[in-house]
A and B are shown apart, each in its own frame.
Chain A
Amino acid sequence: MSDQELIFMSAADLATRMKEKQISPVEAVRAYLDRITEVDGKINAYITVLADQALAEAKQAESDINAGLIKGSLHGVPVGVKDQIYTKDIRTSSASKIRSDFVPDFDATVVEGLKRSGAIILGKLNMTEFAMGDPITSAFGVTHNPWDLTRNPGTSSTGSGAATASFMCATSLGEDTGGSVRGPASNCGLVGLRPSWGRVSRYGVDGASWSLDTIGPISRTVEDCALTLSAIAGFDQKDQYMRDLPVPDYCAALTGDIKGVKIGVVREFLDPDVMGVTKSVRQGVLQATEVLATLGAEVEEISIPLAPVSGVASRIISAVERSSLHPEWLRNRPNEFHHNTRVAFTTGELIPSQVYYKAQKVRTLVRKQALEALERFDVLVMPGASEPATVMNLEPGIRSKEAAVRALTEASYRGLFSLVSGPALSICCGYTVEGDNKLPLGIQIAGRPFDEAMVMNVAYAYEQNTNWHLEYPSL
């Protein structure tokens, strides 16, 4: 088997073939390391590549397989981890100068989960500084979208999306506050799941916003997403907001049978006059709902009247909560931030308490409307963004107040389900052509709190009846 065939394999296939001794973990890790050497100069998805450590772990994984010991469902599979997630004795920078020499002395709970499942950590992935929404702020340089190097790979888990889409890891972890897993998935043509708040531990993760942060997988297929989530989900008493609920067998739940499943299409986000959705995105989402209907789902439009203000509430909440985490840095080390991050942190510091509380009250009302919709429907669907990946402006700055207002409006696309705190997944629903490049389009599928299985099964049914996941960027 060629290296290219190996790295283009899904994580699930790779794991199965390793168990059957058709592929060795060492062979897989070497192929991925070669791929990183070949393409990461263009993409800049990795901050730290753990070549020696990954090869040593791969040799151990191979010995284990030969001895009949399979640790778990990701045994020998090379994964990437966003660089705000703690890895013992390995720098965890949050893509900031301020954290550039921070080396944790323990693994985050999600990293422990990956290791327990047998995964091999290939390296730490680039991101926007402190998981802010702007794509140009990383102290380790900008990450590029593999579909078009001039475009935004999706924030804030920029490296997780770009590395997974360009076959520099088999699957990855991102962190989603206001859409930072779903955005890269949408922009890079991947599957990204924001799990329910309380489903996956945040212990050992540099926080962005205590009431919104979640850790989730970014993968090339729904099955890989389910495998990765299975490795990291479950109660952890070190995260005080975890729910002690049983974790279903997510892979077994991928039946592809969605007959009778009730799907609500959120009207506001498909109306160009309300939220500015582009023609290509609207068409991609509507065609996807047609596919779901042909598979036996009952598809109907639903209105969530407050959904269009989700972005304002989620951005205010995250701005305040984020700036409260390390207030000393803004006062003592302001010049070590990227300009745009410093502006965002300062803005968060200056928002009055009553404005923050009002945003939380708006959240309560938005959430109530969405949960009422989810009493009628098993899942809700809508675009992942108003438009495909945009060209990055590499010059720091916000440009105008109007641009800031537009960003708040756009944030509603993913902010809605961040506020709801149930699961929300983005999956590719087609492509559009801009210039010389194809660009992926994303549809979001969101469900009731803790019903990740339903969300992933609807996505799986769609994926198995379309071919979008078989396309890949040429690099």
Chain B
Amino acid sequence: MSELNEDEIRGLAKAVNIEIQNSDITDISYSLNAMLEAIDSINPEGINAVEPLSVIQKEDKKL
């Protein structure tokens, strides 16, 4: 996955009506790219076969 540059991040922010201050853009870039890259590298077996709602689980009933 390629890293988002600062212009792309500002574009994303504009789409949700957020104006990023110059003093923040570098740190937002570090933070956002770290998360996006980290999650992109996690691909465990079965990831596509589960629903994205973890909180209420049938496993609870067994325990």
List residues of A whose CB falls within 8 A of some B CB.
Answer: 197, 211, 241, 306, 309, 312-313, 315-316, 319, 330-331, 334, 339-340, 342-344, 346-347, 349-351, 355-365, 367-368, 371, 374-375, 397-401, 403-405, 407-408, 419, 421, 448-449, 451
Contact = CB atoms under 8 A, between A and B. Distances in A.
A375 B63 contact: yes
Contacts of A360: 52-54
A368 B59 contact: yes
Given A334-B19, A355-B39, A401-B33, 8 more contacts: A312-B38, A313-B39, A339-B23, A346-B18, A347-B32, A368-B59, A375-B63, A449-B63
A316 B35 contact: yes
Given A211-B55, A371-B59, A421-B55, A355 B46 contact: no
A359 B55 contact: no
Interface in B1-39: 9, 12-13, 16-21, 23-24, 27-39
B49 to A, nearest CB: 9
A347 B36 CA distance: 10
A398 to B, nearest CB: 4
How big is the B interface, by class?
35 or more
B35 to A, nearest CB: 5
Contacts, number: 128
12 contacts: A312-B38, A331-B18, A339-B23, A339-B27, A347-B35, A349-B13, A350-B28, A355-B39, A365-B46, A399-B30, A401-B30, A421-B54
Interface of B: 9, 12-13, 16-21, 23-24, 27-39, 42, 44, 46-48, 50-55, 57, 59-60, 62-63
Contacts of B27: 339-340, 343, 397-398
B51 A358 contact: no
Nearest to B35: A316
B31 A398 contact: yes
B55 A197 contact: yes
A401 B60 contact: no
A87 B15 CA distance: 38
Nearest to B60: A449
Nearest to B42: A309
Contact of A211 (B30, B54, B60): B54
Nearest to B20: A346
B52 A346 contact: no
A358 B40 CA distance: 9
Q: Which label, helix, strand, loop or mixed, suits the secondary structure of the A interface?
A: helix
A358 B39 contact: yes
Given A331-B18, A349-B13, A404-B34, A371 B63 contact: yes
B19 to A, nearest CB: 8
Contacts of B13: 346, 349-350
A312 B23 contact: no
Nearest to B59: A371
Contacts of A364: 50-54, 57
A43 B55 CA distance: 37
A349 B54 contact: no
A319 B36 CA distance: 12
B35 A351 contact: yes
Contact of B34 (A334, A358, A401): A401
A404 B31 contact: yes
B13 to A, nearest CB: 6
B44 A362 contact: yes
Nearest to A406: B34
Contacts of A419: 54
A340 B12 CA distance: 19
Nearest to B24: A343
B35 A362 contact: no
B30 A404 contact: yes
B6 to A, nearest CB: 12
B59 A241 contact: no
B59 to A, nearest CB: 5
Nearest to A408: B38
A375 B62 contact: yes
Contacts of A351: 32, 35-36
A399 B63 CA distance: 43
Contact of A361 (B37, B38, B47): B47
Nearest to A306: B44
Which 7 pairs show the lowest CB-CB distances between chains A and B?
A404-B34, A360-B52, A357-B52, A363-B54, A312-B38, A347-B31, A401-B30
